[in-house]
Amino acid sequence: MNSDWRFADSQDTVVVTLKRILRGDSSLLLVTHNAEDGGWQFLDGEHVFEEDGAIVLLGEMVQFDPSLLELADLPAGWCAWRKAPDRPWQRAQDEPTSTPDRPPIDRDSGVQAARNIEIKAHVSDAGRLRATVKTMSDTEAEVLNQQDVFFAVETGRLKLRIVNDRCGELIHYDRPDIGGLKVSHYLIAPTTAPEVLMTILSQVLPIVGTVRKQRLLYRVGQTRIHLDQVENLGDFVELEVVLRPDQTEEEGVAIAEDLLSRLEIPREQLVRKAYIDLLQNHA
Closest CA to 241 of 216, 262, 259, 224: 224
Average pLDDT for 147-154: 96
Read off the pLDDT of residues 228-253 as tens digits, 9 standing for 90 and up: 999 999 999 999 998 876 788 899 99
Q: Are 104 and 97 in contact (CB under 8 A)?
A: yes
Question: Which of these, 5, 25, 274, lies nearest to 157 by C-alpha position?
Answer: 274
In DSSP terms, 271 is beta-bridged to 120
Closest by CA to 223, choosing from 253, 261, 268, is 253
Dist CA 163 CA 212 (whole Å):
10
What DSSP character marks residue 100? T
pLDDT computed for residue 190 by the predictor:
75
Q: What is the pLDDT of residues 42-58, one digit of tens each?
A: 988 776 666 678 899 99
Using CA atoms, how far residue 179 sits from 117, 166, 235, 273, in Å, is 13, 34, 18, 8
Query: How do residues 106-149 score in pLDDT, each as one tens digit?
Result: 434 444 556 789 999 999 999 999 999 999 998 888 888 999 99
Instruction: Report how far apart, in Å, the C-alpha atoms of 193 and of each of 121, 161, 167, 168, 220 are.
Output: 32, 11, 6, 7, 30
pLDDT per residue over 172-209, tens digit each? 888 766 556 767 777 887 787 889 999 999 999 999 99
Q: Is 99 a residue whose pLDDT tops 50?
A: no
Q: Among 159, 175, 168, which residue's Cα sits nearest to residue 249?
A: 175
**In the prediction, which pLDDT does 3 show?**
67
pLDDT value at residue 1: 52
Q: What is the mean pLDDT of the chain?
A: 85
CA gap 255, 59 in Å, rounded: 38
Quote the pLDDT of residue 203: 96
pLDDT of 95 higher than 80: no
Supply φ then ψ for residue 125, to 5 degrees: -135, 85
Query: What structural domains does the chain harbor?
Result: 14-93 (no CATH), 112-282 (2.40.320.10)
30, amino acid identity: L
Question: 50-90, pLDDT tens digit by residue?
Answer: 667 889 999 999 999 999 999 999 999 888 888 888 889 98
- The three-class DSSP label of residue 243 is coil
* Residue 100 pLDDT greater than 60, yes or no: no
More confident residue, 260 or 49: 260
E-strand ranges in 63-111 read 78-81, 90-93
- Is the alpha carbon torsion for 32, 36, 38, 40 positive or negative? negative
| SS3 category, 76 | coil
* pLDDT value at residue 103: 43
Helix orientation angle between 126-136 and 249-263, rounded to the nearest 10 degrees? 120
* Spatial separation of the C-alpha atoms in residues 241 and 116, rounded to whole Å: 5
Please report the pLDDT score of residue 50 as a whole number. 60
| CB 61, CB 42: distance < 8 Å | yes
Whole-model pTM over 0.85? no
